[in-house]
């Protein structure tokens, strides 16, 4: 990630942050001009009417209160006039408050929603190679906390703009009321601004660090929760708790220090206007006694200082949010500015006369994460429509990488992959998914019903769902669940065994009727008998899909029409299972070793998977 560290102690960095903060506000204003205009109108109206309130108070003092004290009676007209002025100003000020808050709120939430959508769309468009380099916790922080931080100055912005208008109007009115008292009162403004700037200088590094720590806490928490099984089975709860607690404690201490700074400056910011009012009263009384001014002017200037001084702090609120906003905006745009893309063509999937398996051609494919260590080297093979090809190889032989290439999660560095004669890179976006489905070894289930996990929201009726489950040998245990297809599976399908989760994931792929089905060791958690029934059911379908199976068990491999033996990213031999066993000692050692390991594998489902599912599976 790009460097997001800001050093508020560096004058150059502070100036750059200020400029970048205003630039971020400019982006928001250009994207929401009407809401900004509404909020600004409300802020200016509120500021103007707040100053008008002081004028009304001064006018009422001079024209209603003092005459009443002198004459001993209050005229009806004066009372009506004063009440009408106060009510009118109050109503208009309330309109300003509503417009300001409504406009600012809508503007802020629209910007946050728009940027969250943009970040999410960007995540979906970026290739898997990019995602592999960025932790999930960081991506969640980009889409949530960083987006909120980027637009945090929007909320106080209309208030700050209204305050500027209020300060100008108030300064003019104070000078108009009495030049001497106006100049004395105006001294409070720069004093409050200076204190605000000092406060922001001390608070900004703490706020900036807190924003960075929020992202780190999010990353650690997500990683710990995601790896809960590893943490608990290896007894690492205390270490993970300590790792999280260290960052959480640093975040807490940083926020506490920021709170202490604010607590130290709040009394000063509150005291300055009161001090200014006292000075104005002293000077004002002296001038009234000398006959240089009247009591109404003293009340007006004193009241203006009282009501204007607090809103001045809104300027500090906006400036104080700039470091946090800039950090958040940079982190968000680190994602939005990413140029890594998987290009697509405009061709549709080739049309076939009947729903049959497609032809897959892999021609001289090369791929490498690191140019010095290629994963796949000049790989070529063909899968005829409706045929089954098994990929067999030791760890790091390139099987999973090939699966990613076949489903176009990544593109090859050289060569090409064709489906029914069309290069995958020439297909329009989404076309490949209509004909090709992959079932990974690690089956991910959502916190939803069985039906929801199979259909994923697609318009599929229950008959098709049950047919897919039947082919995947999952109809038996699903029927035994308390609510059948409506049974809630819990987060990641924790209420099911590993074999059951794999069969739900397989049914999810089958219900879409793919013409090419890629199984990346997708039945590793079921016993060989159930696995054989699954593969047999797949091949027995009237319009059988072409199958590419990453397999380890001899019983599974034996069902394939052709076996490709991979070593070091190359196909070192090919043929039927029996042919390879007879002529390739390395192949025989490999599959026999896998078969020996599988015999003692405690994760298999035993005989479960049909109507006679074991109680262990049903109630797992």
Task: Please name every residue paired with 376 in a beta bridge, in sequence order, or none if there are none.
Answer: 367
Distance CA 315, CA 310 (A): 10
- Do 508 and 565 lie in one domain? The reply is yes
User: Which residues does 60 contact at the CB level (< 8 Å), separation at least 6?
Assistant: 82, 85, 86
Domain CATH number, residue 211? 1.20.1560.10
- Do 413 and 553 lie in one domain? The reply is yes
Distance CA 183, CA 185 (A): 5
The answer to whether 371 and 536 have CB atoms below 8 angstroms apart is no
Is 373 part of a structural domain of the chain? yes
Label each residue of 342-374 as H, E or C.
CCCCCECCCCCCCCCCCCEEEEEEEECCECCEC
Domain CATH number, residue 408? 3.40.50.300
Pick the last residue of a domain from 336, 369, 395.
336
HSE-up (13 A, CA, CB side) for residue 31: 18
Residue-wise pLDDT for 452-486, tens only, equals: 888 887 788 888 888 888 888 888 888 888 888 87
Task: Please name every residue paired with 390 in a beta bridge, in sequence order, or none if there are none.
Answer: 549, 563
- Do 399 and 544 lie in one domain? The reply is yes
557-560: long-range contacts, CB 8 A cutoff, minimum separation 24: 557/390, 557/392, 557/591, 559/388, 559/390, 559/532, 559/535, 560/388, 560/389, 560/390
Residue 30 has pLDDT above 50, yes or no: yes
Is 173 part of a structural domain of the chain? yes
Residue-wise pLDDT for 505-549, tens only, equals: 888 888 888 888 888 877 777 777 777 788 777 776 655 788 888
Q: Is the model more confident about 77 or about 36?
A: 36
- Do 327 and 449 lie in one domain? The reply is no
User: Which residues does 341 contact at the CB level (< 8 Å), separation at least 6?
Assistant: 125, 126, 127
Is 254 part of a structural domain of the chain? yes
Task: Please name every residue paired with 87 in a beta bridge, in sequence order, or none if there are none.
Answer: none
- Do 540 and 602 lie in one domain? The reply is yes
Pick the last residue of a domain from 269, 302, 336.
336
- Do 232 and 374 lie in one domain? The reply is no
Is 101 part of a structural domain of the chain? yes
Distance CA 572, CA 564 (A): 8
- Do 374 and 269 lie in one domain? The reply is no
Residue-wise pLDDT for 354-390, tens only, equals: 567 888 898 898 888 777 788 888 888 998 888 889 8
- Do 594 and 496 lie in one domain? The reply is yes
Is 116 part of a structural domain of the chain? yes
- Do 410 and 521 lie in one domain? The reply is yes
Distance CA 455, CA 449 (A): 10
Nearest to 382 by CA among 535, 538, 552, 516: 516
Nearest to 113 by CA among 32, 9, 19, 16: 32
Domain count, the chain: 2
**DSSP three-state, residue 617:** helix
Cβ neighbour number for residue 414 with a 10 Å cutoff = 15
- Do 116 and 255 lie in one domain? The reply is yes
Is 149 part of a structural domain of the chain? yes
Residue 309 has pLDDT above 70, yes or no: no
Is 322 part of a structural domain of the chain? yes
**What is the β-pairing status of strands 414-419 and 436-439?**
unpaired
- Do 490 and 560 lie in one domain? The reply is yes
Residue-wise pLDDT for 102-157, tens only, equals: 888 899 899 989 999 998 888 888 877 777 777 777 787 788 878 888 888 888 88
- State the pLDDT at residue 34: 92
- Do 321 and 391 lie in one domain? The reply is no
Residue range of the domain that includes 166: 22-336
The answer to whether 108 and 148 have CB atoms below 8 angstroms apart is no
Q: Angle 11-31/33-60 helices, nearest 10 degrees? A: 100
Is 10 part of a structural domain of the chain? no
- State the pLDDT at residue 1: 45
Pick the last residue of a domain from 273, 303, 336.
336
Give the global pTM.
Answer: 0.64
């Amino acid at each position: 990630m790009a460097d997001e560290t800001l050093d508020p102690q560096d004058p150059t960095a502070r100036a750059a942050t200020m400029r970048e903060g205003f630039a971020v506000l400019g982006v928001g204003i250009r994207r929401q001009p009407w809401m900004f205009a509404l909020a600004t109108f409300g802020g200016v109206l509120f500021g103007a009417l707040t100053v008008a309130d002081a004028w009304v108070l001064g006018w009422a003092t001079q024209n209603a209160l003092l005459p009443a004290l002198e004459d001993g009676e209050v005229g009806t007209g004066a009372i009506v006039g004063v009440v009408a002025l106060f009510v009118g100003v109050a109503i208009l000020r309330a309109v300003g408050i509503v417009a300001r808050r409504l406009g600012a709120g809508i503007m802020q939430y629209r910007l946050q929603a728009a940027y969250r959508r943009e970040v999410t769309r960007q995540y979906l468009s970026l290739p898997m190679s990019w995602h592999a380099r960025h932790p999930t916790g960081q991506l969640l922080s980009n889409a949530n906390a960083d987006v909120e931080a980027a637009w945090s100055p929007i909320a106080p912005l209309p208030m700050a703009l209204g305050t500027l208008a209020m300060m100008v109007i108030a300064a003019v009115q104070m000078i108009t009321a009495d030049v001497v008292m106006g100049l004395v009162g105006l001294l409070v403004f720069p004093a409050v601004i200076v204190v605000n700037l000092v406060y922001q200088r001390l608070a900004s590094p703490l706020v900036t660090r807190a924003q960075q720590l929020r992202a780190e806490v999010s990353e650690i928490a997500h990683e710990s929760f995601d790896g809960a099984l590893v943490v608990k089975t290896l007894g690492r709860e205390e270490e993970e708790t300590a790792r999280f607690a260290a960052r959480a404690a640093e975040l807490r201490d940083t926020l506490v220090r920021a709170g202490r700074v604010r607590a130290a400056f709040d009394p000063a910011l509150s005291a300055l206007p009161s001090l200014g009012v006292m000075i104005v009263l002293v000077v004002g009384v002296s001038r009234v006694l000398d006959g240089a001014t009247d009591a109404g002017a003293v009340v007006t200037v004193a009241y203006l200082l009282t009501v204007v001084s607090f809103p001045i702090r809104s300027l500090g609120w906006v400036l104080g949010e700039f470091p946090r906003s800039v950090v958040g905006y940079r982190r968000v745009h680190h994602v939005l500015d990413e140029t890594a893309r998987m290009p697509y063509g405009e061709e549709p999937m080739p049309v076939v006369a009947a729903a049959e398996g497609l032809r897959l051609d892999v021609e001289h494919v090369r791929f490498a994460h690191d140019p010095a260590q290629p994963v796949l080297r000049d790989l070529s093979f063909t899968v005829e429509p409706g045929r089954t090809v098994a990929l067999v190889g030791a760890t790091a032989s390139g099987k999973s990488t090939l699966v990613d290439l076949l489903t176009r999660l990544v593109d090859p560095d050289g060569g090409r992959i064709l489906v029914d004669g069309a290069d995958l890179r020439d297909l329009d976006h989404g076309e490949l998914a209509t004909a090709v489905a992959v079932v990974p070894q690690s089956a991910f289930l959502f916190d939803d019903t069985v039906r929801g996990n199979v259909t994923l929201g697609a318009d599929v009726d229950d008959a098709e769902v049950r047919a897919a489950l039947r082919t995947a040998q999952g109809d038996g245990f699903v029927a035994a669940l308390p609510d059948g297809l409506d049974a809630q599976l819990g987060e990641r399908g924790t209420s099911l065994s590993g074999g059951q989760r794999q069969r739900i994931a397989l049914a999810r792929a089958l219900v879409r009727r793919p013409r090419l089905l890629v199984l990346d060791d997708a039945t590793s958690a079921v016993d060989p008998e159930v696995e054989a029934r699954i593969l047999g059911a797949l091949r027995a379908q009237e319009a059988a899909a072409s199958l590419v199976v990453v397999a380890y068990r001899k019983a599974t491999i034996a069902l394939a029409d052709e076996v490709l033996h991979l070593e070091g990213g190359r196909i070192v031999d090919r043929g039927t299972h029996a042919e390879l066993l007879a002529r390739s000692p390395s192949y025989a050692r490999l599959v026999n070793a896998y078969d020996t390991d599988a015999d003692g594998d405690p994760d298999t489902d035993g005989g479960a998977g049909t109507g006679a599912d074991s109680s262990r599976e049903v109630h797992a």
